[in-house]
Homo-oligomer: A and B are copies of this chain.
Amino acid sequence: MTASIQQIARKVGVSKAAVSMALKGHPNISEKRRTQIRKIAEELGYHPNAAALTLNTKRTGYIGFILSDDMAGGWTNVYFSTILQGVEACCHGRGYGLHISRYNLSNIDTFVFPEKVGQRSVDGLILAGGRIEAAVVNRFREFGTPCVAIGDTMEIAGIIPSVAQDVEGGLLKAVDYAAGLGHVRIGFRYEPTPRGREVAETLIRRAKANPATAHCQVSAIDPEGLWGDYYAADQLMKAWGGLPKDKRPTLIIGNDQTLLAFLKKLRSAGFNCPQDVSLISVGDTFLCEFADPGLTAVKYDLEMIGRTAGDILIDHLEGKKPLSPASSRKDFAFELAVRDSCGVPKRD
Please list the residues of chain A having a beta carbon within 8 angstroms of any beta carbon in chain B.
1-2, 45, 47-55, 60-62, 73-76, 78, 81-82, 84-85, 88, 92, 95, 97-102, 115-116, 118-121, 143-144, 230, 260-261, 263-264, 267, 285-286, 289-292, 294
Contacts and interface: CB of A to CB of B under 8 A. Distances in A.
Contacts of A115: 47, 95
The 5 closest A-B pairs by CB, nearest first: A51-B54, A47-B118, A50-B119, A1-B144, A50-B121
A49 to B, nearest CB: 6
A85 B92 contact: no
Contact of A55 (B55, B78, B101, B291): B55
A341 to B, nearest CB: 12
A210 B85 CA distance: 44
B116 A61 contact: yes
Contacts of A51: 50-52, 54-55, 60, 120-121
Contact of A292 (B53, B76, B99, B264): B264
A207 B116 CA distance: 50
Contacts of A101: 88, 92, 97-98
A260 B115 CA distance: 40
Contacts of A267: 292
A289 B257 CA distance: 12
Nearest to A267: B292
A230 to B, nearest CB: 7
A99 B97 contact: yes
Nearest to A76: B81
A53 B120 CA distance: 11
A230 B264 contact: no
17 contacts: A2-B120, A45-B118, A49-B120, A50-B116, A50-B120, A51-B52, A51-B55, A51-B60, A76-B286, A88-B100, A88-B102, A97-B116, A230-B290, A260-B290, A264-B290, A264-B294, A267-B292
A49 B264 CA distance: 51
A324 to B, nearest CB: 19
Given A49-B55, A263-B290, 6 more contacts: A2-B120, A2-B143, A50-B119, A51-B52, A51-B55, A263-B292
Contacts of A1: 143-144
Contacts of A121: 50-51, 61-62, 97
A54 B290 CA distance: 46
Nearest to A266: B292
Nearest to A95: B115
Contacts of A286: 73, 76, 230
A122 to B, nearest CB: 9
A88 B292 CA distance: 32
Contacts of A98: 99-101
B99 A47 contact: no
